[in-house]
Structure formats: C-alpha cells, structure tokens
Amino acid sequence: MHPRARTRQGDVEGRVQDGIVRFLGLPFAQPPVGDLRWRPPAPPEHWDGLRVATQFGPACPQFIPAMFNLRTKEKSEDCLYMNIWTPELGRQARQPVMVWIHGGGYLYGAGSEDGFDGARLASHGITVVTVNYRLGAFGLAAPPAIGANFAILDHIAALTWVAENIEAFGGDPGSVTVFGQSAGAVSVRGLLSAPKARGLFHRAIMQSGGGEPIAAAPKTHTSPPKAVTATVELFDRLGGADLTALRQVPTARIAALSHELSGAVPPAGQVHTPANLVWTPVPDNDVLSTKDFPGAPTELPIMLGYVTNEVRYFIKPTGTYPDATIEHMARALTGAQADDVLAELRSHQMTTYEALDQLFTTAIFIEPSLAALQRFSHLGHPAYYYHFDRVSPGGHRTSELAKHSSDIRYVFGNLDPADDYDQTDQAVSDAMQSAWTEFARTGVPASGFNWPRFDPSAPKLTFIGDTAQTRPMATTKLTEIIAAQC
C-alpha cells in the first residue's frame, strides 16, 4: 500500500524510499496560463479521486545552463508545483517544516533539482518542501496597469498551501522556516518585506543573498526599477500594451525575449554579476514594502551568510581576464569608492582573477550581508551569521574553491564521493544539517554548540571550514572601503 494524504484539494498518493515518504508535483495554485498570465496566483482547483504524486511538475520556461540538473525535461508556464519529503505522515507528528526557494538569478532552476532532494534533510525529523515559481518575465515583469512581483506572490501562495495542508504530511504549520540561496535568498528577504506573508513562516535563512543593495546602487528612487523599464520594452517588442493580446502570445516568444532582456550578458569590458540582472523583485508598497520588514514580527529569528569565493561560480579560473576588467568592475560595483578600492586591491600580490574574486565577492555578497545583519539586529531580530569556507577535493582540483552555491549540497546532505567529496565533507555536511534543522526546530542553529547570536558590541560568527567553530567577526579593509559608500 502506497502512502496517502488528504489535502483540501483532494487525496494524493506518494511513494516511500529508504524510510522517507515523498510526494512530488503537487499543485499549489492554478496554472498561470492564458488569462492568468501576469496575474496573482489563483487557489488550486479540486480534483476527484486519487492524484498520484510521484513525478516532478514542469519547470518554468528557461534556457538551462549545463550545471542545472532539474530532473524533469518538461518546461511550461504551468509550473506552480511543490515537492514534499517527510519521515512521518499525519497530524500527530508535528514536525518542523522547511520550505526551500531555489536560486538561479530568477532565470533558471526548479524545486526538483538534484541538489535540493529533501530526503536526507527530512531524516532529521523535518517535513521538507521545495517549490517552483515563475521566472524571468513570467514572474518578475512589472506591468504598471496590473502590478508586479508575481514570483513573490507565488511564494506566498505556496506558504498558504503549506499552512492549510502540511499537517497531513507530518508538518507543524506553526513552525515553518523559509530558506533559500542566491535569488532564493532574495525571495526570502522579499517575504520578510511582504505584509501578505506575515504569519505564514516563523524563521528565515538567507544563503548568499538577501543583503542590502550594493554600494553603487542608486540611493534615490527617481528612476524606475530595471524590471519596470524592461517590461515596457518587452511589451513594445511584443506589439503593444494590450494585456488581452499579450496573454495570447506564445510562451516561447516571451521566454526568448525574457532571456534577451535579462541582463545575463555583461556590458562590454565587464564580467557577469548578479548586479546586472533585470528581472528582480520591485519594492512597490503593495506586495513588497519599501521599508523595514512588515512580513515578519521582530522576534522572528534570521540566519544569513556567504561563501568565501562566491565569484568563482560566475567566472571561471580557466578564463582570461584583462587588467582593465578590474577597473571596469570596481567602478560598476563600488561607485565613488572605486579609486580607493583599486588601490587596496593593487596593494596585494594577486592575479587579475584573484582580484576579481575579492572585489566581486566583497561588493556583491559580504558587505551587503553585513549591512543586512546590522539592520536585522537593530530591528530586534535574533540574528546568526556564518561564513562557509570548506573546499572539497573537487573544489581544489578545479581551483573553484568555496564558490557560490557550493554550500547547498552540504545543507541538503547530497554529497556524492564520485563528485570529489570525502569524509571531511561528510562531517561538515552532518554539522550543517544539524545547524539548519535545529534552527528550524528552535530558532537557534546548533552543530555541537549553539551558534553565537549577533551582538554588535562583541560581534561573532560561525566559521564553517573543515569544522564549524565560533570566531570573532573581523572585516577586511576592502569591506570597510566599500561600506563607506553606503
């Protein structure tokens, strides 16, 4: 007999593997197609009989880079599906719930990716949920006539479904942690800023994202957000602003233009950074507040952090980078502080690539995350900060080191020795799974010791190298120079 659960929409049947029950491809909203394109997600429809939930749902349309293994070949605007892994079914289990929002620059990815398989994390007594959401122009277009932030509304719809149904899957709707990496972390921050999300989650984790704006970001709102400007161009190239007609445009046409207008191709003389990306959430004082975090009470605990060599995911050690690239990137990322930044970088014996790594990682990830940490603490949130530095044998072999996204497989426990992981990696993964699940359970991360809560008078962080340990928080001169611009 296969495991079954009852949702408000109907009965579902999953499968058991290695003691973990999994339900795949569960719809949490109606397909956002046709007249529902560029609208808030509608509640899912009911079904009669038994729905077999053993296959992942389609991913949102995207041009998939080789490093993404989505575990589904189907791509469709009909993409609003979630997956659940749980060690126990039924209301009596009352397990903490962890809802994962994937990254990919709002252009790529799906909750079905192999690195996000929730079985090992669920074995810690957690109900794990991974979700899809609308990407690119499908989820982040901002038509002035009807609103914006459809991707964030998709997250809220998924959390609403969790609140209404997760007890049947062994989860406690009163103990929900949202966690995400990169664009997923930006989405977690978006949920903190979304009044409609208040009460739907109780803890938040942001991995390599979700910080304050970068130093060179405009300090005023006199210009429209990039997503708004790109939407105007998108609609113009599709034939006009008649939404009835635009909702009939073939998916492939929108997907192609979405990618073309995305900012994924860097300007001349620069390298790609997330700061170039166009399709991102828009603070609109409707879905997303422009100040503070009305989606979260002040007692809500927050964990955030970064990895040492974030840039090496985006630009590879095997590439060729002219010296002029450093100056172009310093001016693009640090604005008025660029001369001081360049002087600091040149004072060290580094290759151009190493200097790009330091510049990019500090300007895009470290300084913004530290600024966010200070802000969360000032607002009264219990905040915990980490620095991930573990380099696997494979990371050493490729010289990609602790690159952006390298922490994900450790968190989910999805390490494969064939992919150049060893026993130290497994021990680090065990410690990180312990910390993440204990945070979901109690609001305090722990991995053999309780991680230090951020205290601005004596700041400490958790450093995750070959082991996890508490260290005093120290900023580099480069970080301090960049912070002076903010």
286-339 pLDDT tens trace = 999 988 899 999 999 999 999 999 999 999 999 999 999 999 999 999 988 999
Q: Which of 182, 262, 369, 392 is catalytic?
A: 182
Per residue in 237-262, pLDDT (tens digit) is 999 889 999 999 999 999 999 999 99
Q: Give me the catalytic one of 202, 377, 404, 438.
A: 404
Q: How far, in whole angstroms, is CA 276 from its chain's centroid?
A: 17
Per-residue pLDDT at 129 exceeds 70 = yes
pLDDT at 282 over 90: yes
Strands of 64-117 (E only): list them: 81-86, 95-101
User: Which domains are assigned to the chain?
Assistant: 4-218+282-322+365-460 (3.40.50.1820)
pLDDT the model gives residue 424: 97
Q: Please give the full DSSP string across 270-307, using - where no structure is assigned.
A: ----GGG--------SSSS-SSS-TTS-TT--EEEEEE
Single-letter residue type at 186:
V
Does the pLDDT value for residue 223 go beyond 70?
A: no
Averaged confidence pLDDT in the chain: 95
Q: What is the pTM of this model?
A: 0.97
404 is catalytic: yes
Task: Kindly state the tokens that stand for 126.
Answer: 């957690």
Which is nearest to 464 in space by CA: 434, 444, 443, 419? 434
Which among 77, 113, 212, 310 is annotated as catalytic? 310
CB-based contact 429:415 (threshold 8 Å): yes
The pLDDT-based confidence of 1 (bands split at 50, 70, 90) is: confident
Task: Please give the C-alpha separations between residue 278 and each of 105, 136, 223, 261, in angstroms, as whole numbers.
Answer: 9, 9, 14, 7
Q: 362: which DSSP letter?
A: I
- Asked if 164 is an active-site residue, the reply is no
SS3 content of the chain, % helix, strand, coil (to 5): 35, 15, 45
Specify whether 310 is catalytic: yes
CA distance 394 to 468: 20
Distances (CA, A) of 290 to 22, 55, 141, 207, 372: 38, 39, 18, 22, 15
| Model confidence pLDDT, tens digit, residues 42-67 | 999 999 999 999 999 999 999 987 67
Per-residue b or e along 147-157, where b marks 16 or more CB atoms closer than 10 Å to that residue's CB: bbbbbbbbbbb
- How far, in Å, CA of 451 to CA of 386, rounded? 9
Q: Rounded to an integer, what distance in angstroms lies between the CA atom of residue 120 and that of residue 436?
A: 12
